[in-house]
Every structure is written in structure tokens, then in C-alpha cells.
Structure 1
Amino acid sequence: MNSLYCLRCSRRSYGLLLTVILVIGLGACSSSGNAPIATPPPPTPLAAVTVSGVVTDGPVVGGTVFVFTADQVLAAFAGIDPDGDRLADLIAADSIATLTRDPADGDQYSISIPGEFANTAAFMIFDNTDAEDDAYGDTPPNLESVAILGVPGISQRVNLSMQTTLVTQLVRGQLDPDGDGTSIDLPEIQTEMENASANVLSAFAKDSLGRDLYPAGFDPFTDLDDDTVHQASGAIGFLMRTAAHAEDLSYDEIVAALAADAADGDIDGAIPVDLEPTPELESIAVAVADIESAGSDDDIAIFAVGPCSSAAVSMRQACAVDVID
């Protein structure tokens, strides 16, 4: 009797267990069918690359710094109207970062570049609208610089000076040899930077009195000594103002001629033919080289500096003044 009762109990328990399993299974299927699809969290943004340094012709305050990729900088300069509003054209261009400089920051600048552009070439383009040169008291030239950005989150020094401007103009000139709007790759940009830097530093190794402008190993892009960067840049700024005053040309025209002339490592008025210079640019380069040569004659002992410097060599050429005190 007990055995029969236990058998019936086992069957009832087994049936109940099957019912429970079936209900749970159906519930699970129903729940899984109605459950919302989980949305993966967005990727963590890459840390920005911070670029900072000095802006100098002499020390420069104010103005605006734009940052472009290699392809973007080609398009940005193609869109600049020489007779229009350069600042407005740059604002309208597709930059990856923009900084309107606070005059209270003096000659320093710092700008954050989105981390997605880490490990690429970045072109820093300075517009001189509302800027002032603290040494000469005038509006400085438009300046440029270029850097190979490091890893996300890094902070790196990138100065904007006359030297970096000449180098960057030469690099920009080689970015698109095919003329299709697409820049050369990163290793080629690095090579162009190294070659242009070597030639510009060779062309402007000494000031008008024959003194070394910078110590061995000087890198105008990354040097941390502000005074050295200012001194080196100011020497070219001096020549630029002198030539602009003597030839009645804009600073930008003189800078373009200096960059092209320096491409062979010497300021001699001869622009390498592979740069395909216009007759006008060649003429300016010759005139600037003549002024640079006159400004470094052995019989000139002292040059004026500051606001009067632009007139110094002009007086030398026009009036045969040997010593300007």
C-alpha cells in the first residue's frame, strides 16, 4: 500500500515538475522576445593634443590661430582671396581648431586639438588681424607653423615664428605635387619639414652683424627658450621690414620671397626652378637679397633697432650712410 502511494506521489511530483519547467520556459521565451536590444555605450573620446608655444616676429599679442590638417590647409589657402578678408576666409575654411588670442596672454598661445587628429600633421596658421608686434609696435606678418602631432593626451611645444613660417610655406608648396587636392603622406611631410628646416636655418644662421642667431641644434619649432626664439625670429623680421619699406611691398610678399629664396639654404636672390617661381617673385627675391647683402657689409657697424629699423638699410642704400647710430 505504501509502495503504491509513493508511486502515485512520484508521478504527481514528476507531472508538477514538468508543468513548472514548461511555464518557466515559456516565460523565458516570452521575456527574451520582448526585451529591448542593449545599446553599446559610445566610445570614450580620445584625449586632446595640446599645442602651445610663443608667437613671435618680435613678440606678438592678439590675432587668431587656426589649425588645419594637410588636406584642409591646401583647401584653406586656395580659398583665400588676396584682395579680400583673409580672416573671414580662414574662418569659413574647415579648421579642426581655432583660437582667438587674448592680448592678456602676451606672446604665448595654447590650443587643444581633438584627439582623433593625433599622430597626423597639423598646420598652425596665424592671422594678424587685431594683432600687434610688441617689439616694433606695428601689425606683424601672418605667421605659420607645422607639427607632427603626438599621441592623444600629449602636450607639445610648437612655436610660431619667422623661421617656422618660412619652413611651413616651403612644406605647403610640396604638399600636393599632383595638383589633385590630396596631400602627400605623413613620412613625406616629415621629410619635407626636415629638408626645409635645414635650409632655412642655414640661410639665416647669422644676423646682419655676422653673429650667430642661435646655438647649435636650435629647433625653431620646439625650442623652449623664448628669448632665443624671439631673437632668431626678430632678425628676419628686421630684414622683412627693411625690404618692405625699401621696395614698397607688403610683409606677406617679402615673406613669400624669403621662403622661396631660402629653399636652397642661401639668401642670394636665386629661387630653385622646381618651385616654379613667378617673374614677380623672382624680382622680389633679388631685391631682398640685395638689401640683405647691403645690410651685412663689413663697413656697417651699428644698425638701428625697434621702430626705426625699417629705415636703417634704406638710408644706407639711398644715402650711402655707413654707420647708423
Structure 2
Amino acid sequence: MPFLQNPFSGAFGLHLCDSVIKLVRLQKKWHPKNGDYFDVVDIRKTSLPTGCIANGEIQQKELVSQKIKLLISKEGGKKPIKSPWVVVNLPVSKTFLKLIRIKSQPELITTEAVYFEAAKHLPFDTKDVAIDWQIITDNEKPNGFTKVLIGAAPKNIADSYLSVIEDAGLYPLALEIEDLSIARSMITAKKTYQNEARAILDIGSSRSSIIIYDKGSIQFSSLINVCGDLIDTTLTQRLKIDRETATKLKDKNGLTYDLNHPLYLKVVNDAIDNLIEEIKNILIFYKNHFNNPNPVTHITMSGGLSAMKNLDKLLSKKLRVETAPGNAWKNLFNKKFNEDDRVKGLPFAAAIGLALRATEAGWFKKG
């Protein structure tokens, strides 16, 4: 049996969305000058028929499992993935993530105490919920309190994701709340933020969220109602065009005027105005409801919609916070990636974060 080798060799990240499944597999390497880094061994995706997964809930388990099997086989002429080990996301729309404070010393914290305190924050009954937690340490004086990051998901959601993964012949190393995976890829791993907080705005095709990162930890995350599919649907209704045309218009124009569709920019601006209002409310909520928060000085964007033309400029202006698409590859510490790779990586932020956890799962830690 392996002693110092990774027992989960070839483990990969699998990101299940409403309309697509994304896969990223990494390999950890070492360079005598630069130290540890990661190579991308595999990156692939496959679309899902409408209704297979709806708002994070798996509706057609057999079809989703079949799609996963196809993805890890010779899909697109690629070699099949032989490793059964995988880290899978739990959808942001069905999960809860927040940093809470418990009046106790860290060594005295128990699972029962965490569940009791978590019940005051969770939007669902703790009896039907799977809860994971982690004690967070930082430079602040504890003052008799311990910070605990709690993650929760309804048991039926977690069970359904486990079921489709196992039916596809895979062995899940972990189920991880999606926002944790996004933060792992989008927050610079080797940087310490002093007296400032970061926000990650993940704008996907089917769902979006904002994650507040402060004092070395995620503080909380919140679902946002504006996403790519919503904009596409509104464009089809208002401009009387088909969905494919709407998507192409959005991808081509972003936040610019279209001579052939004069109403286009107003429709998209209305949606982005709603997005801006939601972000403002979340930033105000963080400022007013968390203990000694640092100001959010930068918003890092990820997800497919983050590359939308002029979106970063408009958000920076309206929110008065510097906003820009991030680099989902940066924590691979691999100098091979160029600007084109950076843009292509944005829709894969969660899958990259899952892959980073999968690759690190069995490594012997030095020191």
C-alpha cells in the first residue's frame, strides 16, 4: 500500500450547474527554483438538457449520471479519466455559508454547541440539514469568543448529489459548498490583506452569488438574482428574438449600443441596475451586521458573465469600488497562462477550486 504517495492520485474537481457540467483535473509538481505548482491535465465540459438540474436541485438523476460518465470517457476525442476520486460542489442556491461567533474558548467548542448556535442563523431546520464547521483563527483579540465558519445544506440535496456521483461509478472525496471552491481559486493564496476586505462576484449562466472575504476567511455569501440566463430570457421577450440570437447579442455587445436592436442596451442596463442594487445592499449589510468589518476595497469577478464588455467599468463607477475580472488560474502558480487563458478560466473558477482541493487531498504535508 502507498506510504508517502498520494492515495487519491488523479482526483479531479467536478462542478454541476443547471445547464452544464465542468471538470478540471490538476497535477501537482515541483520546481527547484519556484517550488510547488500545478499543471492542468484535463479541462472539459458537457451541456445538460433543460430540466436535468433546476435551481440546484437534480431532477433527472439517471440522465445526469449518464452525462458524467460520458464526460469522463472519450468525450470530444479525449482520453478517458481512470481515477474514480472526485470533489464535487453543492449548489450555492441550496446552501448556507457564514462566519459566526460562539462565546467559548476554541478548545471547548463542540459539535452540539455549533449546531445550537447555527440554528440562530440557518434559513432551514437543523434536523434536516448537514452541517460542517471549522474554527477560524486571525489576529483579532478573541474577547471570549471563537469564530466558526459554518456550511450547511439540506440533507436531501447532499444525498442527491452523492447518488448521481456514485451512480456514475465515482467516489466522492468531499462535497463542497460552491462558494468555498470559488474563493479558493479567486483569492490570492500567498497574499495577506491588511485592513481591507475583498468581495468575489461570481456571475454565472444559471445562478450568481457574492462572497465577502475578510480577515483571512470567508465571512458570508449571498445569492444574487441576476444571471446570464435571466438576461437572455428578458432579451427574447422584449426584443422578440429567439434565445440563440439573444445570447449572441449579449456576448457580442455587452453593455454597448446595438444599431439593429435599439432596445437592446436598455434591456441589459435594467438587469445590471438590479445587479448593482443587490450588490449595494449586500455590502451595506456586511458593514452594519458584522463585527468590526474592514471596508471592501476590491470586487473580483468570476463566472461566464464577468467578461461582459464594459461591465467591470460600470460596476466600478456605480459602486465606487474597483471591480475587475479575476484570474482563476493564479493559485496554480504556473507561469504558462496568458491573457487568453485568464478569460477562458473565468467560467471554470469553481471547478478549478474543486480541483485544487482534490489534488491536495492526499499530499503529505512537510514541516
TM range (shorter): under 0.3
Structure with more relative contact order (C-alpha pairs < 8 Å, separation 6 or more): 2
TM-score by length of 1: 0.25
Query: If each structure's helix is expressed as a fraction of its own residues, which one has the higher value?
Result: 1
TM-score by length of 2: 0.23
The structure number with the bigger radius of gyration is 1
